[in-house]
Structure 1
Amino acid sequence: MYVKIESNRDGIAKISLSNPNMNLLSNQVKREIHDVFSQISQASDVRVVIFAAEGSHFCCGADLKEFPERIEKKAARQVWDEGHAMLQAILNTPQPTIACIQGNALGGGAELAAAFDFRIFADQAKIGLPEVTRGVIPGNGGLERWIDIAGAGYAMKLLLTGSVIEAVEAKEMGIATEVVAAEHLYEKAAELAKQIASLPAVAVQTAKRAVHQYLVAKNDFNSIGRELFYQVHETEDVREGVQAFIEKRKPVFKHR
């Protein structure tokens, strides 16, 4: 397997990608990412997910060796659907997700990175969408996500020029959540994960769902948000959080 759940401790699960040497996003890797995130989304004992790739690079994009067969079989529509299903499996994960970005995140790798709620970059990391230089466009769902994340202007710059940007510029564009020294990359992700995992899981997951619902249905969000707001008021944790505040003590959340 190229993608697996490596650990699950204290409500934090680590998913790893290992497809040496460049962690290419082959058809098999995409299927495994889809399956692993579909599995983790059902895990009630997981409150945060960290995704990390082994080796020097996060993901250098598609396996170009698969392109001749794709072109010959006129399978581009199927590839589009499968790529979008992969990204959607990550986006649909109710738990907050954190990606550790090191080395290169290019093409499909940049699309993969776009699916996560948080993207922690090593200071020497680079990201870009060079598909246009190969005569194609992103097809895994990253095109749409980068518009949502960085805005049409920045997304257009990356898409139409195929340029690759460094971590500092990615931070300025809103693509990188944080930039840290490479040796502290996973440490920073784990620190963020621990902070989130300590909070009431229902409220955290509802807040994530609210953000995604707003992005896809701005005009209908008032009624959607109203219902989500009601739902968190029905949890045990909201009662504990308020009572702990009144009693001036640390809350003990049960995540329900």
Structure 2
Amino acid sequence: MSLTIKPNRRHALALAAAGVAALALPLGTARAQGKLKIGTIGAGSLGGAVGALWVKAGHEVMFSSRSPDELKTLVAELGPNARAGTVQEAIAFGDAILLAIPYAAYPEAGKAYGEALKGKIVMDAGNANRSDLFEETKRNGIGVTTKKFFPGARLVRAFNAANNRLFTENAGKEPRMAIPLAGDDAAALKVVSDLVTSARLEPLVVGGLKDADRFAMGTDGFGHVLPAKELAAKLGVTH
């Protein structure tokens, strides 16, 4: 069972509306059947690892690269639910998008793909510590900073709080490893929570984008393999 944290009244009201808002999501019959089409922007160690968990769960995943031919081995190993394409093709394909590129590339990616990502659920898995943007994320918040580069996207911070190998190693183990999430769009949070669950991990909604700093790289909330109840205590959120 997933554990949802409600740190404040405003966010609680937004989450309460998720069930109604989710009905309006333009995700087609795949959403109704519990399976989504997912595109990745980036198919390196993180994008490949998380995308593979979704393929194994029965979702269709398009891994993207500037050179899609380089992904032939990856998609062949994962089977018919995996495919490769350009970034533009993956964005058009996906009901939800995993943003899994170096944080330093976000400004360029925002200029190139921001328009196409408007209205899309975007899972932001980047960490800024090795980027020139680190000071800005410390000053303004990493979720807010990402939103600046992708202003029309339905952004959810997800899959950034641990090394990708921990997701692969712990998927399906009990108690489930918690994946902290933060976002301002309640319906998008619900979709991403479902995707975390289907990857055989446990979603933990921490709060809005401003709360993403609680589990950013370099904080006490980063790098844990804990069930949701224990991670919630670690992050200092109540439920």
TM-score scaled by length of structure 1: 0.25
Between Structure 1 and Structure 2, whose CA radius of gyration is higher? 1
Of Structure 1 and Structure 2, the greater helix share is in 1
TM-score after normalising by structure 2: 0.27
